[in-house]
Structure 1
Amino acid sequence: MRQTEVCVRPFGGLPRRGVSLALTGCLILAAVGAATVVRAVTRDTRDIALPGEAAYPESITATADGTLYVSNFAGGGVTRIEPGASSGEVWITPGAFETRSTFGVLADEASGTLWVCSNDLSALGIQGPSDVKGAALKGFDLKTGAGKVSAPFPVSPAICNDIALGPDGAAYVTNTLGPQILRLKPGSQTLEVWKTDPLLAPEGKDAGLDGIAFGPDGNLYVDTFTKAKLFRIDVKDGQAGAVTPLTPSRPLVLTDGLRPLGDGAFLLAEGGGRLDRMTVSGDTAKVEVLRDGVAGGVTGAAKVGATAFITVGQLAVITDPARKGTKPELPFRVLAVPLTAR
């Protein structure tokens, strides 16, 4: 049946002029509907260049308008990418507000804050932009970029890796060098240990806790980098409960950034070169590949509309002794990955 037939039949009892007006209105609605369909299936395919020869992106986050923020594992600072732009510009200067190498970034629009993990990586031979010691969670004004929160880690050794926002408005952060998840309550400048558990401890010289995100069930989900393990931490009334290992549906490689998709699933970055969609059912994590074969590894992901933006870290160039003397592929990039409608 043609579109005009579908439109006209409900108005069969109207005079000719009424039918004409009804048909015109129906065709307008049909055109609007078609335009809506076109917008719904439009996918962002940008390949975004990051500035500098040592950008080494570790994490990415987005605000509701599509602005992206990217950290810098080696040089520090934060790059901002305006909506629709094909390149980024340094927004938070390396070393600003006593920062060093930057890891996790998370936009908290409710409080107008960009949360940033700052770390001293000099022990790895990565000097960063200053000589400030230790790890800290920093908060910058989302409009001006001015520093407003500085919360050093109260435990050692420590690497502030990534951040999640809880239902209580607090920032929760992972410690890669220890078994702790820390919490910064709204309005506070002091991090507290929220959960520690032997299951979350790194093994030997392995990098431990990394990605972190709250699920729709109110529980907290984390992963570890080197061993690529997944865990659920039960949460009740803001208090941490039992830690449960999750079994992935396939082997994972160097699990990194973890972000909620908003539909009950998560975006999961793998340093082995994949972006995944992860859905948890019971103690099992179903892992579906959204993009594979990303040379340089995927370190972080952020969702904007029907698109996931991923950072290509190339971190092995400066962390793997076997890669010493090699050069990164320039420019460093953020890639767009279309998300399949569900």
Structure 2
Amino acid sequence: MTRSPAWKRLIPLLIPVLAGSIGGAANTLSAAPESIPLPGDAAYPESITSTADGTLYVSSFASGGVLRVRPGAEAEIWIKPGAFETRSTFGVLADEKSGILWVCSNDLSALGVKGPSEVKGAALKGFDLTTGEGRISAPFPVSPAICNDITIGPDGAAYVTNTLGPQILRLKPGSGTLEVWKSDPLFAPEGKEAGLDGIAFGKDGHLYVNTYTKAELFRIAVTDGVAGAVTPLTPSRVVVLADGLRPLEDGSFLMAEGGGRLDRITVEGDAARIEPLKDNIAGGVTGVTKVGNTAWITVGQLAALTDPAKKGAGPDLPFRLHAIPLKSP
């Protein structure tokens, strides 16, 4: 009987090992990156949103415009700075049902941030989610105003926070005029504080908001689209500079903290259980969006523009988006 060489007799044993190694390498190559660099030395990303295919959209506190990151591609300028009479861009929200990318536009010249145009005031802008063309422009009917962030209600309307006043505004489907939907003294900022910021509807149909400087959390009761009582929520731990708020499928929320954390918030009665998912994030977290089992966050480094003690030092380049794996609650 002819015997095979010893190395040939090992082939059946090596095939599963080699296959696993090759598969592992392929998985590594195709895996999503841990971070994505953003172009330019003045991106200062303020907010982020995403579509079902994993495309990311990012606003810019200083440069304006909107960056787009398609899956597997580099970040690109999609909506040019200053387009459709925009200036500094804040909250962004992709509404695939209506085919609109909602964008908050603001004049930050009072903060020493010139922006890409001379357009005055605050406005909610709507861009075609396919072409990027401007379709809707709704100026804020109140002053002072900063259009901060956006959510879509069960009625299909866009709800927007005003950081410089105590108002939540609403833009009904088909309308081009913002209306004050809810105003409450609990939301009012004091002095140079920044007030209302993150906003999201819960699975219970009620609206949830936070305030930036005081880092408070509130629930606004909603019945048939009508705003009801405002209830402060007691957090389980201290929150520092509450920012972007996004709902999760299980009824909890993701929240960005300008103090350098990403949190999961679970509302339990009038209490908010806050679970840090990632902390010690240098530069502060300004926005968050969920793609699959990953949270993508924007690190704004806004202090380089707004903190007198840090002005002149410059940001840490390049600006980046960071991926944070999510676990089941």
Confirm or deny: 8 A CA contact 1:45 1:337 kept in the other structure. no
Deviation at 1:43, TM superposition (A): 7.3
Name the structure 2 match of 1:266: 253
The alignment status of 1:173 with 2:160, answered yes or no, reads yes
Cα offset, 1:203, TM superposition: 1.5
Listed one character per residue, the Cα deviations across residues 259-315 of structure 1 (whole Å, up to 9, x for unaligned) are 001111000000000000000011100000111111000000000000000000000
1:164-313 matches, cutoff 5 A? 164-313=151-300
Corresponding residue for residue 83 of structure 1: 71
Q: State the TM-score, normalizing by the size of structure 2.
A: 0.90
CA contact (8 A) 2:303 2:311 kept: no
Whether 1:67 and 2:16 are equivalent positions in the alignment is no
One of 66, 82, 87 as aligned partner of 1:100: 87
What fraction of aligned residue pairs are identical, expressed as a percent?
Answer: 75
Residue 15 of structure 1 is matched in structure 2 by none
Of Structure 1 and Structure 2, the greater helix share is in 1
Cα distance, 1:44 vs structure 2 = 4.0
Contact 1:100 1:118 in 2 (8 A): yes
- Secondary structure of the corresponding residue to residue 340 of structure 1: coil
Distance 1:149 1:232 in 2: 29
| Equivalent residue, structure 2, for 1:126 | 113
Contact 1:209 1:225 in 2 (8 A): yes
Residues 121-142 of structure 1 show CA distances to partners (whole Å, capped at 9, x for unaligned) of 0011101010010000000000
d(CA) in 1 for partners of 2:86, 2:231: 34
- Per-residue CA distance 1:61-91 (angstroms, 9 max, x = gap): 0000000000000010000000133x30110
1:341 to partner: Cα distance: 2.6
State the SS of the aligned residue for 2:309.
helix
Larger displacement relative to structure 2 (288-297 or 43-52): 43-52
**Distance in 2 between residues matched to 1:324 and 1:45, nearest whole Å:** 31
Counterparts of 2:111 and 2:224 in 1: how far apart (Å)?
Answer: 39
Q: Which amino acid aligns with 1:334?
A: L
Counterpart in the other structure of 1:155: 142
Match of 2:37 in 1: 49
- Extract unaligned runs of 5+ from structure 2: 1-22
> Residues 164 and 305 of structure 1: is their aligned pair in 2 closer, same or farther, counting only changes over 3 Å?
same
TM-score when normalising by structure 1: 0.87
Question: What secondary structure, in the 3-state scheme, does the structure 2 residue paired with 1:199 have?
Answer: helix
Give the partner amino acid of 1:280: V
Q: State the aligned residue count.
A: 302
Q: CA deviation at 1:45?
A: 4.3
Give how far 1:48 is off: 0.4
Query: Counterpart of 2:71 in structure 1: which amino acid?
Result: P
CA contact (8 A) 1:44 1:338 kept: no
Distance 2:130 2:33 in 1: 27
Q: C-alpha root-mean-square deviation of aligned residues, in Å?
A: 1.3
Deviations 1:166-222 (A, max 9, x none): 000000000000000000000110000000000010111100000000000000000
Report how far residue 104 of structure 1 moved. Answer: 0.0
* CA–CA distance in structure 1, aligned partners of residues 37 and 117 of structure 2: 25
Contact 1:44–1:337 (Cα < 8 Å) also in 2: no
